[in-house]
A = this chain, B = another copy of it.
């Protein structure tokens, strides 16, 4: 088995070797730009890892893995327009560096290029891979739409939130693993199980992100602690708090949510206090653990040797930051 780091490097190299026409520059330069801005190449590496797990040749999986990376970056380019985001990974976003029209159209081409890459698999699995890829893509778009919808409404149910984060982030991890498994020669049943593993683990990982935003060690977390609180982001924590809060706490939460003028540190402290009173961290960690457990249950059923399963468990453990 290759290490995940090796696989990430393999992807990095392959991304650097991708080349697009020079003309029209406004269409193709943004593709090279956004792909060069980096990221951990985790999603395509997962595809290679899945292929490797089932004894496949990872080199045969590089182009489909790139499809996952190009697709992911397409979603970033379009999401950044919709979210009006000035920066992505510390660099200027495509629609800011060029303009929204360039970002729309180069994003569109990236989606087509992703299809050109994903179809570079053997005939025997071509149709299945295409179906998985298309269903994954639709899921990711649905997740983004739900995420935008949630910003506009006052009340979001926990189940709706969990469905949204599954679609927006977890299905692509599941899809990458499933395609990689099929390329590696896995049975459809095993590919499905690995997909479930990825989706459940991805959802757990997103819940961890919600928790770390409030309770993370600022040095380890690498983001501003309380950023979600400051921006009123409807995370698992806020949604659960609004669900469990009594009338006093609801009133105080809403006061902070509706204030335009506030001291950021004071708001983070006050809202965190409410979370603490309501035991929100425990609920969130429980939910996270439930998803992680479902991931491990799927993993247990896969027809792989114990050392390969252990590799996947170690990988999952590596994603989950143990605080304390």
Contact = CB atoms under 8 A, between A and B. Distances in A.
Interface in A18-36: 24, 26-27
A130 interface: yes
A126 interface: yes
B26 A108 contact: no
A144 B105 contact: yes
A108 B109 contact: no
Contacts of A111: 108, 111-112
Interface in A172-186: none
B105 A27 contact: no
A127 B116 contact: no
Copies in the complex: 2
Given A112-B141, A119-B127, A130-B119, A24 B149 contact: yes
A137 interface: yes
A134 B148 contact: no
Give the size category of A's interface with B. Answer: 35 or more
Contacts of A104: 78, 81-82, 104
Interface in A107-130: 107-109, 111-113, 115-116, 119, 123, 126-127, 130
Contacts of A277: none
Contact of A146 (B24, B81, B102, B142): B24
Given A108-B108, A116-B134, 12 more contacts: A26-B145, A27-B142, A78-B104, A78-B105, A81-B104, A101-B148, A104-B104, A105-B141, A107-B108, A111-B111, A112-B141, A123-B127
